[in-house]
Amino acid sequence: MNAADLHRDAIVIDAACPLPMGDMDYAEWYREGGVTAFAPTVGGWRPTHEAIALIAAWLDRIAMRDDLVHVTTAADIERAKAEGKLGLIFHFQGTDPIGGDLNMVAFFKRLGVGVMQLAYNVRNRIGDGAQEPEDAGLSTFGRAFVARCNAHRVIIDCSHTGRRTGLEAMALSTQPVIFSHANPKAVYPSVRNIDDEQIRAAAATGGVVGAVGFPGFISAAARPTLDAFIDHIDHLVAVAGIDHVSLGLDYYWGQHPVSDDKAALASYERLVVAGAWDRDVYPPPPHYYPEGIETPRTLPALTAGLLRRGYGEADTRKILGLNLLRVYREVWGA
Protein backbone atom coordinates (compact mmCIF):
# COMPACT_ATOMS: atom_id res chain seq x y z
CA MET A 1 0.00 0.00 0.00
CA ASN A 2 1.43 3.40 -0.90
CA ALA A 3 1.69 6.23 1.63
CA ALA A 4 -1.39 8.12 0.49
CA ASP A 5 -3.59 5.01 0.57
CA LEU A 6 -2.20 3.92 3.93
CA HIS A 7 -2.88 7.30 5.47
CA ARG A 8 -6.38 7.34 4.05
CA ASP A 9 -7.08 3.85 5.39
CA ALA A 10 -5.44 4.21 8.82
CA ILE A 11 -6.96 5.40 12.08
CA VAL A 12 -5.07 8.65 12.74
CA ILE A 13 -5.27 10.26 16.19
CA ASP A 14 -3.67 13.52 17.35
CA ALA A 15 -3.75 13.53 21.16
CA ALA A 16 -2.97 17.21 21.81
CA CYS A 17 -4.69 19.97 19.83
CA PRO A 18 -4.96 23.44 21.37
CA LEU A 19 -5.26 25.03 17.91
CA PRO A 20 -9.11 25.05 17.81
CA MET A 21 -9.29 26.85 21.17
CA GLY A 22 -8.82 30.06 19.20
CA ASP A 23 -11.22 29.16 16.41
CA MET A 24 -13.26 25.96 16.22
CA ASP A 25 -13.20 26.13 12.43
CA TYR A 26 -9.61 24.88 12.54
CA ALA A 27 -11.13 21.48 13.24
CA GLU A 28 -11.63 21.26 9.49
CA TRP A 29 -7.86 21.33 8.99
CA TYR A 30 -7.67 18.00 10.84
CA ARG A 31 -10.32 16.56 8.56
CA GLU A 32 -8.39 17.76 5.51
CA GLY A 33 -5.27 16.08 6.90
CA GLY A 34 -6.95 12.70 7.16
CA VAL A 35 -7.24 12.70 10.95
CA THR A 36 -9.81 10.30 12.40
CA ALA A 37 -9.97 11.86 15.86
CA PHE A 38 -8.19 14.69 17.62
CA ALA A 39 -8.10 16.02 21.17
CA PRO A 40 -9.02 19.70 21.40
CA THR A 41 -7.85 21.31 24.61
CA VAL A 42 -11.04 22.24 26.48
CA GLY A 43 -9.41 23.45 29.69
CA GLY A 44 -6.48 23.06 31.98
CA TRP A 45 -4.89 26.35 32.89
CA ARG A 46 -8.26 28.15 32.96
CA PRO A 47 -10.71 28.34 35.88
CA THR A 48 -13.73 26.08 36.14
CA HIS A 49 -16.30 28.37 34.55
CA GLU A 50 -14.15 28.98 31.48
CA ALA A 51 -13.63 25.26 30.95
CA ILE A 52 -17.37 24.63 31.25
CA ALA A 53 -18.10 27.39 28.72
CA LEU A 54 -15.63 25.93 26.20
CA ILE A 55 -17.00 22.42 26.65
CA ALA A 56 -20.53 23.78 26.19
CA ALA A 57 -19.49 25.43 22.92
CA TRP A 58 -18.03 22.17 21.62
CA LEU A 59 -21.08 20.16 22.69
CA ASP A 60 -23.34 22.64 20.91
CA ARG A 61 -21.29 22.37 17.72
CA ILE A 62 -21.38 18.57 17.88
CA ALA A 63 -25.15 18.60 18.40
CA MET A 64 -25.67 20.93 15.45
CA ARG A 65 -23.67 18.86 12.96
CA ASP A 66 -23.85 15.26 11.82
CA ASP A 67 -20.21 15.01 10.73
CA LEU A 68 -18.71 15.17 14.24
CA VAL A 69 -18.52 12.45 16.90
CA HIS A 70 -17.98 13.16 20.60
CA VAL A 71 -15.50 10.45 21.58
CA THR A 72 -16.02 8.84 24.98
CA THR A 73 -15.17 5.23 24.07
CA ALA A 74 -12.80 3.49 21.69
CA ALA A 75 -15.80 2.41 19.62
CA ASP A 76 -16.63 6.06 18.94
CA ILE A 77 -13.32 6.44 17.11
CA GLU A 78 -13.92 3.31 15.09
CA ARG A 79 -17.41 4.58 14.24
CA ALA A 80 -16.02 7.97 13.18
CA LYS A 81 -13.61 6.19 10.84
CA ALA A 82 -16.27 3.89 9.39
CA GLU A 83 -18.71 6.75 8.81
CA GLY A 84 -16.19 9.30 7.52
CA LYS A 85 -16.73 11.62 10.46
CA LEU A 86 -14.34 13.52 12.72
CA GLY A 87 -13.95 12.39 16.32
CA LEU A 88 -13.41 14.89 19.17
CA ILE A 89 -11.62 13.80 22.35
CA PHE A 90 -11.97 16.34 25.18
CA HIS A 91 -8.61 16.96 26.86
CA PHE A 92 -7.49 19.05 29.84
CA GLN A 93 -3.95 20.47 29.79
CA GLY A 94 -3.72 20.97 33.54
CA THR A 95 -6.14 20.61 36.44
CA ASP A 96 -7.16 24.18 37.30
CA PRO A 97 -10.81 23.43 36.38
CA ILE A 98 -10.91 20.83 39.18
CA GLY A 99 -10.02 23.44 41.78
CA GLY A 100 -9.88 21.80 45.19
CA ASP A 101 -12.88 19.52 44.65
CA LEU A 102 -12.18 15.93 43.61
CA ASN A 103 -15.86 15.46 42.78
CA MET A 104 -15.19 17.61 39.72
CA VAL A 105 -13.35 14.65 38.16
CA ALA A 106 -16.66 12.78 37.87
CA PHE A 107 -18.46 15.95 36.77
CA PHE A 108 -16.10 16.63 33.88
CA LYS A 109 -15.98 12.95 32.92
CA ARG A 110 -19.78 13.07 32.52
CA LEU A 111 -19.24 16.03 30.17
CA GLY A 112 -16.87 13.87 28.17
CA VAL A 113 -13.43 14.92 29.42
CA GLY A 114 -11.61 11.61 29.22
CA VAL A 115 -7.99 12.82 29.52
CA MET A 116 -6.61 15.10 32.25
CA GLN A 117 -3.05 16.39 32.31
CA LEU A 118 -1.67 16.79 35.84
CA ALA A 119 0.03 20.19 35.48
CA TYR A 120 0.89 22.83 32.91
CA ASN A 121 4.55 23.74 33.50
CA VAL A 122 4.02 25.36 36.91
CA ARG A 123 3.06 24.13 40.38
CA ASN A 124 -0.59 23.50 41.19
CA ARG A 125 -2.60 21.55 43.78
CA ILE A 126 -1.58 18.25 42.18
CA GLY A 127 2.18 18.74 42.05
CA ASP A 128 4.98 20.47 40.17
CA GLY A 129 5.04 21.33 36.49
CA ALA A 130 7.98 20.73 34.18
CA GLN A 131 9.45 24.24 34.68
CA GLU A 132 9.57 24.08 38.50
CA PRO A 133 13.22 23.79 39.61
CA GLU A 134 12.43 22.07 42.93
CA ASP A 135 10.83 19.06 41.17
CA ALA A 136 8.64 18.23 44.16
CA GLY A 137 6.39 15.21 43.79
CA LEU A 138 2.67 14.63 44.07
CA SER A 139 0.83 16.44 46.83
CA THR A 140 -1.58 14.59 49.12
CA PHE A 141 -4.36 16.03 46.98
CA GLY A 142 -2.53 14.84 43.88
CA ARG A 143 -2.40 11.28 45.14
CA ALA A 144 -6.12 11.39 45.78
CA PHE A 145 -6.62 12.84 42.29
CA VAL A 146 -4.81 9.91 40.68
CA ALA A 147 -7.04 7.47 42.56
CA ARG A 148 -10.17 9.39 41.57
CA CYS A 149 -9.13 9.40 37.88
CA ASN A 150 -8.64 5.64 38.05
CA ALA A 151 -12.04 5.22 39.69
CA HIS A 152 -13.80 7.23 36.98
CA ARG A 153 -11.76 5.86 34.08
CA VAL A 154 -10.07 9.14 33.22
CA ILE A 155 -6.69 8.86 31.49
CA ILE A 156 -3.87 10.60 33.37
CA ASP A 157 -1.55 12.66 31.17
CA CYS A 158 1.95 13.58 32.44
CA SER A 159 2.84 16.06 29.67
CA HIS A 160 4.10 19.44 30.96
CA THR A 161 4.33 17.80 34.40
CA GLY A 162 7.37 17.74 36.68
CA ARG A 163 9.56 14.67 36.47
CA ARG A 164 9.02 13.44 40.02
CA THR A 165 5.31 14.28 40.00
CA GLY A 166 4.82 12.25 36.83
CA LEU A 167 6.89 9.29 37.98
CA GLU A 168 4.95 9.11 41.24
CA ALA A 169 1.64 9.32 39.40
CA MET A 170 2.67 6.51 37.07
CA ALA A 171 3.74 4.36 40.03
CA LEU A 172 0.37 4.91 41.75
CA SER A 173 -1.95 4.52 38.78
CA THR A 174 -3.65 1.19 38.19
CA GLN A 175 -4.44 2.13 34.59
CA PRO A 176 -2.30 3.18 31.61
CA VAL A 177 -0.79 6.67 31.87
CA ILE A 178 0.20 8.72 28.84
CA PHE A 179 2.36 11.61 27.79
CA SER A 180 -0.03 12.97 25.17
CA HIS A 181 2.73 15.19 23.77
CA ALA A 182 6.37 14.93 24.85
CA ASN A 183 9.67 14.38 23.06
CA PRO A 184 12.78 12.59 24.39
CA LYS A 185 15.51 14.65 26.04
CA ALA A 186 18.08 12.26 24.62
CA VAL A 187 17.37 13.70 21.17
CA TYR A 188 16.96 17.35 22.22
CA PRO A 189 17.54 18.44 25.85
CA SER A 190 14.62 20.84 26.37
CA VAL A 191 13.34 21.19 29.94
CA ARG A 192 9.92 20.36 28.50
CA ASN A 193 11.11 17.02 27.09
CA ILE A 194 11.31 13.78 29.08
CA ASP A 195 14.10 11.34 29.89
CA ASP A 196 14.31 7.63 29.19
CA GLU A 197 13.18 6.67 32.70
CA GLN A 198 9.95 8.63 32.21
CA ILE A 199 9.44 7.04 28.78
CA ARG A 200 9.92 3.53 30.19
CA ALA A 201 7.64 4.27 33.13
CA ALA A 202 4.80 5.29 30.81
CA ALA A 203 5.29 2.15 28.75
CA ALA A 204 5.31 0.01 31.91
CA THR A 205 1.81 1.24 32.74
CA GLY A 206 0.66 0.21 29.29
CA GLY A 207 0.55 3.84 28.18
CA VAL A 208 2.05 5.77 25.28
CA VAL A 209 4.25 8.79 24.59
CA GLY A 210 3.09 11.10 21.81
CA ALA A 211 5.74 12.80 19.70
CA VAL A 212 5.20 16.57 19.66
CA GLY A 213 5.74 18.94 16.74
CA PHE A 214 6.32 22.23 18.57
CA PRO A 215 9.66 23.37 17.09
CA GLY A 216 11.26 24.33 20.41
CA PHE A 217 11.01 20.71 21.56
CA ILE A 218 12.53 19.20 18.39
CA SER A 219 15.85 20.96 17.85
CA ALA A 220 17.59 24.31 18.00
CA ALA A 221 16.53 25.02 14.42
CA ALA A 222 13.78 27.58 13.93
CA ARG A 223 12.39 25.47 11.09
CA PRO A 224 12.96 21.80 11.98
CA THR A 225 12.87 19.19 9.25
CA LEU A 226 10.47 16.28 9.14
CA ASP A 227 13.44 13.96 9.56
CA ALA A 228 14.40 15.75 12.79
CA PHE A 229 10.89 15.13 14.09
CA ILE A 230 11.00 11.46 13.11
CA ASP A 231 14.32 11.17 14.98
CA HIS A 232 12.27 11.68 18.15
CA ILE A 233 9.85 8.94 17.11
CA ASP A 234 12.80 6.61 16.46
CA HIS A 235 14.14 7.17 19.97
CA LEU A 236 10.74 6.67 21.58
CA VAL A 237 10.37 3.39 19.70
CA ALA A 238 13.85 2.28 20.74
CA VAL A 239 13.20 3.00 24.43
CA ALA A 240 9.49 2.26 24.88
CA GLY A 241 8.83 -0.23 22.10
CA ILE A 242 6.66 0.17 19.03
CA ASP A 243 3.44 -0.42 21.00
CA HIS A 244 3.94 2.66 23.17
CA VAL A 245 4.51 5.52 20.72
CA SER A 246 1.84 7.86 19.35
CA LEU A 247 1.27 11.42 18.15
CA GLY A 248 0.46 14.63 20.03
CA LEU A 249 1.50 17.25 17.52
CA ASP A 250 0.37 20.26 19.57
CA TYR A 251 -0.57 22.65 16.77
CA TYR A 252 -1.62 25.88 18.48
CA TRP A 253 -3.19 29.26 17.79
CA GLY A 254 0.06 31.24 17.88
CA GLN A 255 1.98 29.27 15.26
CA HIS A 256 2.83 30.23 11.70
CA PRO A 257 0.78 30.54 9.50
CA VAL A 258 -2.25 30.63 11.83
CA SER A 259 -1.22 33.85 13.55
CA ASP A 260 0.54 36.83 12.08
CA ASP A 261 3.87 37.75 13.66
CA LYS A 262 2.45 40.57 15.78
CA ALA A 263 -0.38 38.48 17.21
CA ALA A 264 1.93 35.53 17.84
CA LEU A 265 4.39 37.72 19.74
CA ALA A 266 1.60 39.22 21.83
CA SER A 267 0.32 35.74 22.72
CA TYR A 268 3.85 34.63 23.56
CA GLU A 269 4.46 37.60 25.86
CA ARG A 270 1.18 36.97 27.70
CA LEU A 271 2.19 33.38 28.39
CA VAL A 272 5.65 34.44 29.57
CA VAL A 273 4.30 37.16 31.86
CA ALA A 274 1.77 34.71 33.29
CA GLY A 275 4.61 32.31 34.08
CA ALA A 276 3.21 29.52 31.92
CA TRP A 277 6.13 29.69 29.48
CA ASP A 278 9.80 30.25 30.30
CA ARG A 279 11.81 32.11 27.65
CA ASP A 280 14.64 29.59 28.03
CA VAL A 281 12.26 26.72 27.26
CA TYR A 282 9.95 28.31 24.68
CA PRO A 283 11.74 30.31 21.98
CA PRO A 284 9.96 33.42 20.73
CA PRO A 285 7.80 33.20 17.60
CA PRO A 286 7.41 32.73 14.73
CA HIS A 287 6.94 29.02 15.43
CA TYR A 288 7.30 26.83 12.36
CA TYR A 289 6.26 23.20 12.72
CA PRO A 290 8.29 20.50 10.93
CA GLU A 291 8.78 20.99 7.22
CA GLY A 292 6.02 19.21 5.34
CA ILE A 293 3.62 18.99 8.29
CA GLU A 294 3.45 22.69 9.14
CA THR A 295 -0.30 22.36 9.82
CA PRO A 296 -2.73 19.45 10.30
CA ARG A 297 -3.77 19.80 6.66
CA THR A 298 -0.59 18.12 5.40
CA LEU A 299 -0.30 15.19 7.83
CA PRO A 300 -0.19 12.59 5.03
CA ALA A 301 3.45 13.72 4.63
CA LEU A 302 4.20 12.22 8.06
CA THR A 303 2.93 8.81 6.97
CA ALA A 304 5.15 9.04 3.90
CA GLY A 305 8.09 10.06 6.10
CA LEU A 306 7.59 7.09 8.45
CA LEU A 307 7.55 4.68 5.51
CA ARG A 308 10.71 6.25 4.08
CA ARG A 309 12.38 5.86 7.47
CA GLY A 310 11.74 2.12 7.26
CA TYR A 311 8.62 1.61 9.35
CA GLY A 312 6.40 -1.09 7.96
CA GLU A 313 2.68 -0.68 7.37
CA ALA A 314 1.63 -2.33 10.65
CA ASP A 315 4.02 -0.28 12.79
CA THR A 316 3.08 2.94 11.00
CA ARG A 317 -0.57 2.27 11.79
CA LYS A 318 0.32 1.81 15.46
CA ILE A 319 2.12 5.14 15.66
CA LEU A 320 -0.61 6.97 13.73
CA GLY A 321 -3.41 5.84 16.01
CA LEU A 322 -3.76 2.19 16.98
CA ASN A 323 -1.57 2.47 20.07
CA LEU A 324 -3.72 5.29 21.44
CA LEU A 325 -6.87 3.42 20.48
CA ARG A 326 -5.68 0.48 22.61
CA VAL A 327 -5.18 2.77 25.62
CA TYR A 328 -8.60 4.35 25.14
CA ARG A 329 -10.21 0.90 24.96
CA GLU A 330 -8.45 -0.28 28.11
CA VAL A 331 -9.33 2.78 30.20
CA TRP A 332 -12.66 4.00 28.76
CA GLY A 333 -13.97 0.68 27.54
CA ALA A 334 -14.86 -0.63 24.11
Please name every residue paired with 87 in a beta bridge, in sequence order, or none if there are none: 37, 69
The predicted model gives 189-203 an average pLDDT of 98
List the one residue out of 19, 41, 297 whose CA is nearest residue 157. Answer: 41
Dihedral sign from CA coordinates of 202, 322, 242, 333: positive
pLDDT, averaged across the chain: 97
Question: Is residue 204 scored above 90 in pLDDT?
Answer: yes
**pLDDT, tens digit (0-9, with 9 covering 90-100), for 291-331:** 999 999 999 999 999 999 999 999 999 999 999 999 999 99
Strand pairing of 155-157 and 113-117? parallel
How many whole angstroms separate alpha carbon 288 and alpha carbon 257? Answer: 8
How many whole angstroms separate alpha carbon 193 and alpha carbon 32? Answer: 29
The predicted model gives 183-191 an average pLDDT of 98
- pLDDT, residue 263, reads 87
263 in Cβ contact with 173 (< 8 Å): no
How many whole angstroms separate alpha carbon 120 and alpha carbon 16? Answer: 13
- pLDDT, residue 46, reads 85
Cis peptide before 189 (omega within 30 of 0): no
Question: Is residue 22 scored above 90 in pLDDT?
Answer: no
**pLDDT, tens digit (0-9, with 9 covering 90-100), for 234-245:** 999 999 999 999
Dihedral sign from CA coordinates of 191, 154, 37, 201: positive
Q: Show the 3-state SS of the chain.
A: CCHHHHHHHCCCEEEEECHHHCCHHHHHHHHHCCCCEEEEEEECCCCHHHHHHHHHHHHHHHHHCCCEEECCCHHHHHHHHHHCCEEECEEECCCHHHCCCCHHHHHHHHCCEEEEECCCCCCCCCCCECCCCCCCCCCHHHHHHHHHHHHCCCEEECCCECHHHHHHHHHHCCCCEEECCCCECCCCCCCCCECHHHHHHHHHCCCCEEECCCHHHCCCCCCCCHHHHHHHHHHHHHHHCHHHEEECCCCCCCCCCCCCHHHHHHHHHHHHHCCCCCCCCCCCCCCCCCCCCCCHHHCHHHHHHHHHHCCCHHHHHHHHHHHHHHHHHHHHCC
- pLDDT, residue 260, reads 84
Which domains does the chain possess? 3-332 (3.20.20.140)
Give percent of the chain above pLDDT 90: 96
Question: Is residue 247 scored above 90 in pLDDT?
Answer: yes
List the one residue out of 160, 306, 166, 289 whose CA is nearest residue 242. Answer: 306
- pLDDT, residue 158, reads 98
Phi, psi for residue 260 in degrees, rounded to 5: -75, 165
245 in Cβ contact with 238 (< 8 Å): no
- pLDDT, residue 261, reads 81
Give the confidence band of 270 by pLDDT, cuts at 50, 70, 90. Answer: very high
235's CB contacts (< 8 A; 6+ apart) are 184, 186, 187
**pLDDT, tens digit (0-9, with 9 covering 90-100), for 104-161:** 999 999 999 999 999 999 999 999 999 999 999 999 999 999 999 999 999 999 999 9
The string over 193-216, giving b where at least 16 C-beta atoms fall within 10 Å of a residue's C-beta and e elsewhere, is bbeeebbebbbebbbbbbbbbbbb
78 CB neighbour count, 10 Å cutoff: 17
- pLDDT, residue 227, reads 98
76 in Cβ contact with 58 (< 8 Å): no
